[in-house]
Amino acid sequence: MQVTLYEDELYEKEIIKEESLQFIVFRVYDEWYAVEITRVKEIVKVETITYLPSSPAHIVGIINLRGNILSVTDLKMIFGFPKTDLTRDSRLVVVESGLVESGILADEVCNVVEVSVSRIEPTLATIPSERAEYIEGEFQDNDKLIGILKIEKVLDKREQI
């Protein structure tokens, strides 16, 4: 009896792992958004936000976070959603881009998800233009369509004070 071995049978097959990213998922009004976890410094319960006179509508104020003064951005004002009151589920997602740190007001922080890069789709053409420029892509997680925020764009909006 003769056994024929082929070269590809002699070596273990290399399993190619698809690249994936981790995101913090949070709710703003009735829509879901995500920020890549590497951009999030921390998530904190919303304490006292100090009103900042003469600031743009999307800057609801500033907070003192362990000696750092951070502006607080309300995406509802940027996206044209109705203003709502803070609740016990409200959180501040502290994000950073380069040397700039800011807090993004979230009505609820849901969880951390890992998403394969192949599952990230381009932004839908049906999204209103005032929101589309702040979203770099989207993905489906269970029954939620989640927009991935362009943090640099949100912080650029913040710097136009």
Q: What is the pLDDT of residue 161?
A: 40
Q: What is the pLDDT of residue 154?
A: 86
Task: Give the span between the Cα atoms of 20 and 1, in whole angstroms.
Answer: 47
Q: What is the pLDDT of residue 54?
A: 86
Angle at 59 between CA 28 and CA 24, to 5 degrees: 35
Q: What is the pLDDT of residue 159?
A: 45
Would you say the pTM of this structure is higher than 0.85? no
Q: b or e along 21-47 (b: 16 or more beta carbons within 10 Å of the residue's beta carbon)?
A: bebbbbbbeebbbbbbeebbeeeeebe
Q: Are 41 and 94 in contact (CB under 8 A)?
A: yes
Q: What is the pLDDT of residue 99?
A: 81
Q: What is the pLDDT of residue 113?
A: 95
pLDDT tens-digit map of 36-56: 999 999 999 998 899 988 888
For 53, residues 6+ apart whose C-beta sits below 8 A from its C-beta are none
Give 136: exposed, middle or buried? Use CB within 10 Å, 0-12, 13-18, 19+. Answer: middle
Low-confidence ranges of the chain (pLDDT < 70): 1-16, 157-161
**Residues 17-159, CATH architecture:** Beta Barrel (2.40)
> Which amino acid is residue 120, in one-letter code?
I
Q: What is the pLDDT of residue 97?
A: 81
